[in-house]
A and B are shown apart, each in its own frame.
Chain A
Amino acid sequence: MEEVVADKFPLTRHSILAAVQSDDPAEKSRALETITAAYWKPIYKHLRLRWELNSADAQDLTQEFFARLIEKDFLAGYDSGKGRLRTFLRTCADRLFLKQSRDAHRLKRGGDNSHVELDFETAERELAHTALSSADNFEQYFERECLRSLFALALERLRSKYDVAGKLVYLAVFERYNLTEDQDSHPTYAQLAAEFHLSPSDVTNYLSSARRDFRQCVLDQLRDMTATEEEFQAEARALLGATAK
C-alpha cells in the first residue's frame, strides 16, 4: 500500500467521493486505494491509542475496516454536508470497534474479508515516536497523524516527480533543508551551497522551485484526501493559515 501514490494512479474525477461512487470499477478501486494509503496509518494508530488495543487486534480491526471500505461500499453512508471525510472515517472505525466489542465472537483475526497490504511494522515503529502527549486529545492526535500522512505522501509525490524530471539535486537540497530533525543544525543557504557545490543563488532558486512543487504536491494530495471541492478549499485554507505563527 506504501507504493500507492496518486501520481501513478491519477484519478480522473475531481472529487474522490465521486470516484468512489463511480460505476467504473478501475476508477473506484483507485479511489479506495488512495483513501486507504492516506488514512490507514492514522486509523491504526488511533485504534491502538484510543481503545488501547494491542498490536494484533488493532491490525485485525484496521484490516477489516479498510476491507469493508473497499468491498462493502462503506462510504455510501457518508454525507459531505455533515462533516469532513477523515472525521467520518475515524467515527466509522470507532463504531466498528464498539460493534465488535459488543459482539465478541465477530472479533476474529483475519476474518472472511480479503487482505489489504498494510505495513504494520513501520506503523508500530512510528508509534514509538508519537506517543500521545498529555496536551493532546485523541481527536487532535488523529488530526496530527492525518497531517503527517498528508506530508509523507506529498513528499512521495515530489520524489516521483523529480525522479522522472531528473531534478534529484533540487530534491536533495529541499530535503536537506527541510527534513533535518534537529532545528539547531538547520543548514544555512551558504552551508547548502558548499555541501552541494552550488552557488548561493542556485540554492535560493532550487529551494524556491522545490517549495513551489511541494506545495502543489500537498494540494494535489489533499484533494485526494478530501471528499468534495468545498472540503478541499476549507482544508487547504486551514492548512495554509496555520503558517501564520
Chain B
Amino acid sequence: MKWLSDQVVDQLRANLGFPDLSGTRYRAVRLLARGGMAAVWLAEDTVLHRQVALKVLDLADGKDDLAARLLREAEILASLEHPGIVPVHDAGTLADGRVFCCMKYVQGETLEQHVRRLGSTSEALRLILRIAEPLAFAHSHGVLHRDLKPGNTMIGPFGEVLVMDWGLAKRIELASAATAPPLAIHPEAGHSTNPPATGVVGTPGFMSPEQERGDAASPRSDVFSLGAVMAFTLAHTAPKNAFRSLPRPLRSICGKAMAANPALRYESVEALAADISRYLEQMPVSAYRENVLERSVRLMHRHATAIVLVLAYLFMRGLFILFAKR
C-alpha cells in the first residue's frame, strides 16, 4: 500500500466533492459555495453554451430525505416565475446517485456584501421593496421562504434583486396565506418531500421566534425575516452604523415587522412594503403615531417646494406692496 503525502491526500479529497456530470449536458467549472448538505457549482451548459449554477447534494443516500427536498425546491422554483426569483432550468440525479438542481447563474453579490455600497437610507429602503416583491409573489402562490437573510439575497450586475436559496421553502394553504397568523399547514405538508412542518428551520437572527421555537411558520414569519433584513440593511446606512440613530418611523416599521407576537406584525409582506413606500413618500406610516411637531416637520419636508414657492411669492408680494406705497 503506497504511502500518500499530504499533497496527495488534499488532491484526493478535492476529488470527492466533484460532481459526476457524465451523461449530462453540464461540465463543472468551479465550486461557488457550499451549505450544510449541498454544494453549488458553476458549470457550463455544453448545449446552450451558457454558465449555470448546479446545486448538488453531498451524499446520494441522505437519511433525512434530502434528495426529495432538493427536488421539491426545484419544483417550487419552477412554479414561481418572477424576475426576483432565480429560475430553475433542470433537476435530476447524477450518475453517482446524487440529486442536482440546475439554476440560472447569478453573478453579483449578496446583500451581505452589497450593504457597504448603499449610500442612503432611501436607497436601502428601495432595495427592501425590491426584496419584498418576490416574497409577496411567492406568498400569493402559497409558498413561504422561511430562510430570508442577507446571504440569500443577490444583487445582480444590472441592479436586479433576486431572492435565492428556497431550500427551506414550504407550500401552505393558499386561502389563508395572506392573513391568518398561525397558519394551518396544507395537507400536503405531511408528505415526505415537504420540509418539516415544524422543527427549527431558518437562520438565527433572521428567523422568527415561532420558527426558533419549532412552531409552524406563516407568511408573518417571512414578514419578520424581511423586517430583520431591513434592520440589518438600514443599520449599515445609519450614521455610525447605529440603528438607534434612524428616524423613529423607520425604527417603528422594523419593530412592527419584527414583533415577537405574530399577531402584532404586519399581516402581509405587501402591508410592510406599503408602509415603507409611505415613508419614502413622506406620508404617515401605520407603525408610528407622530406628534404635532413631527407631523409639521414631515409635512414641511413633503411640501418643501410648494412651501418655498408660497413663501417666495409672499415675500415678493410684500416687497411689491412696500415699494408701491413708497
List residues of chain A with CB under 8 Å of any chain B CB.
2, 122, 125-126, 129-130, 144, 147-148, 151-153, 155-156, 178-181, 183, 205, 208-209, 211-212, 214-216, 218-219, 229, 233, 236-237, 239-244
Contacts and interface: CB of A to CB of B under 8 A. Distances in A.
Contact of A229 (B31, B36, B58, B63): B63
A242 B2 CA distance: 23
A173 to B, nearest CB: 13
Nearest to A215: B16
A179 B15 CA distance: 12
B117 interface: no
A129 B5 contact: yes
A219 B60 CA distance: 10
Contacts of A179: 2, 4, 8, 11
A216 B20 CA distance: 11
Given A208-B22, A243-B14, A244-B39, A181 B7 contact: yes
A126 B26 CA distance: 40
Interface string B1-28: 1111111110111111110111000000
B20 A183 contact: no
A205 B4 contact: no
A180 B5 CA distance: 10
B12 A240 contact: no
B17 A240 contact: yes
17 contacts: A144-B6, A148-B9, A155-B1, A155-B4, A155-B12, A178-B8, A180-B8, A208-B20, A211-B20, A212-B95, A229-B63, A236-B59, A240-B58, A241-B58, A243-B16, A243-B39, A244-B34
Interface string B104-135: 00000000000000000000000000000000
A152 B96 contact: no
Interface of B: 1-9, 11-18, 20-22, 31, 33-34, 36-37, 39, 58-59, 62-63, 95-96
A241 to B, nearest CB: 6
A147 to B, nearest CB: 6
Nearest to A219: B59
B47 to A, nearest CB: 16
Contacts of A216: 96
Given A181-B5, A236-B59, A239-B16, 4 more contacts: A147-B9, A178-B15, A237-B59, A241-B34
A191 B115 CA distance: 46
A147 B13 CA distance: 9
A153 B22 CA distance: 25
Contacts, number: 100
B65 to A, nearest CB: 13
A205 B22 contact: yes
Given A129-B3, A156-B1, A215 B8 contact: no
Which of A147, A148, A212, A214 neighbours the largest number of chain B CB atoms within 10 Å of its CB? A212
Contacts of A242: 13
B296 to A, nearest CB: 56
Contacts of A2: 1
Which of B6, B9, B15 neighbours the largest number of chain A CB atoms within 10 Å of its CB? B15
A71 to B, nearest CB: 25
A169 to B, nearest CB: 16
Contact of B63 (A181, A212, A219, A233): A233
B18 to A, nearest CB: 6
A129 B9 CA distance: 14
B7 to A, nearest CB: 6
B2 A152 contact: yes
Given A152-B1, A179-B2, A179-B4, A211 B21 contact: no
B22 A183 contact: no
Contacts of A219: 59
A212 B4 contact: no
Nearest to B36: A237
A181 B3 CA distance: 11
Contact of A218 (B6, B11, B16): B16
Contacts of B22: 205, 208-209, 212
Contacts of A126: 3
A126 B1 CA distance: 11
B7 A178 contact: no
Given A152-B4, A241-B58, A214 B15 contact: yes
